[in-house]
Structures are given as structure tokens and as C-alpha cells.
Amino acid sequence: MAHVLSDVLSAAEARALFEAAAALPFEDGAKTAGRLAKRVKDNQQAADGTDTQAVLARLERALLAHPVFGALAYPKSFAKLLVSRTEGGGQYGAHVDNALMNGARTDLSFTLFLTPPEDYVGGELVIMDGLEDRAVKLGQGELILYPSDSLHRVEPVTEGARLVIVGWVQSFVSDPRAREILFDLWTAASVAEAAEDFAQVQRISKARSNLLRMWAV
């Protein structure tokens, strides 16, 4: 299941991150694509360096501090993050992300949209889940988190430039069904807490903690 997180960054933080990312040096994105993905990938990504690392670290910190991200992803590590720029008709055709990156398994993928959507045409992230294609184009600073096992693509950017940060998470809980059960319990505990039903919160939290103990690897 895909989830949109709209408040990973404040509006001011998102704008600052956009400006910092736009100032980075970029290189051809095909460099980091797998053999099959290379044929369909036409974008650029920020070259590795201190400034790029600083931009990516800001997002990592914000994600690790975000309670809903934690409840959805149970992050064990970030397999990889990168700043991606697409412009001049560039796109990223249908592909599935590599299962392993930098020695970590990719369980969840995310895209943080940095360019305000009114500043470019095209560039939707399309998640192809078999039944229908879902096209997603989010506001500045909004993030979509989705399971890494899906085919997806990025539509051609015909005007302006699309700047995003994409990343992959290895989760303590590799099974998406198990993560969904844990997230439902987390949500139920939050609802009970809002209703000040603390006995209920304790019960639900106990079930969630003990399932996590059974499933975490």
C-alpha cells in the first residue's frame, strides 16, 4: 500500500531543501541504473560529495523523527538516497528497483517532491499495481512511500525541471502484510489515545510490540 506523508518537512524546510538540492552538481543518471533500467532511464542525479550528503542527511533525519514514517516502515537502514533531476523530455520508463543496494534489501521506496508542481509539466510517478496505474504528483515537501516490489515509471517532463529525492529503506519487517497489520494496530492505538481510553491503548500497544518482537529481523 502506498502512503502520502505531507508533513515530513515544514514549508520553510522544504523550500530550503529544494534550493540546496537545485544548487548541487548533476551527472547522468544512467550511471547508477541496473542493466535493464539503463535502457529506460533518462534523468540526472546529484554527484556524490559533501553538499549532496548534507542534503540527503537532512531528509534522513526528518524521516527518522517522523512518527508515521516509523510506524509504516520500521526502518533498519536507508539502503540509498539520491537527488534526481528530470527535464527536457526526460523520463524514467517502467522498471522495478534493484532488490539489493549497498548490501541492504530494499523493502520500501520513497519519492520526496521538491519542485513546486506548478513549475513543471509531466513528471508524475506512476505506480503500476496490475489493476490500474496510479499517477502521483505531489506538492513541495510531500513524500510518497510505497513497497519496492512494484513496477513504476516517471512520465516525461516536457516543461520545467522536476527535482526529487528518492530513497530506499530496509525494514525490520520485510513482509508488507505484516507491516500493514502493525500499522493498523498503531492507528488503532492512536485513535484510542485520542479518546483517552488508556486501557485500550495499553492492550493494543502490547499486541503491536509483541508482534514486532516476533517479526523483526
Residues of this chain that interact with Ni ion (CB under 5 A) are 97
CB of 198 to Ni ion, least distance (A): 42
Q: Which is nearer to Ni ion, 116 or 147 (CB)?
A: 147
Q: How far apart are CA 106 and CA 96, in angstroms?
A: 11
CB of 152 to Ni ion, least distance (A): 6
Q: Which is nearer to Ni ion, 32 or 158 (CB)?
A: 32
Q: Which of 75, 72, 93 is nearest to 146 (CA)?
A: 72
CB of 194 to Ni ion, least distance (A): 36
CB of 45 to Ni ion, least distance (A): 12
Q: Which is nearer to Ni ion, 151 or 161 (CB)?
A: 151
Q: Which is nearer to Ni ion, 19 or 149 (CB)?
A: 149
Q: Which of 163, 187, 158 is nearest to 72 (CA)?
A: 187
Q: What are the Cα distances from residue 90, in Å, to 42, 176, 190, 196?
A: 5, 32, 42, 51
Residue nearest to Ni ion (CB): 97
CB of 36 to Ni ion, least distance (A): 11
Q: Which of 142, 132, 78, 66 is nearest to 111 (CA)?
A: 142
Q: How far apart are CA 164 and CA 184, in angstroms?
A: 29
Measured torsion, CA atoms of residues 176, 179, 181, 183, in degrees rounded to the nearest 10: -130
Q: Which is nearer to Ni ion, 154 or 185 (CB)?
A: 154
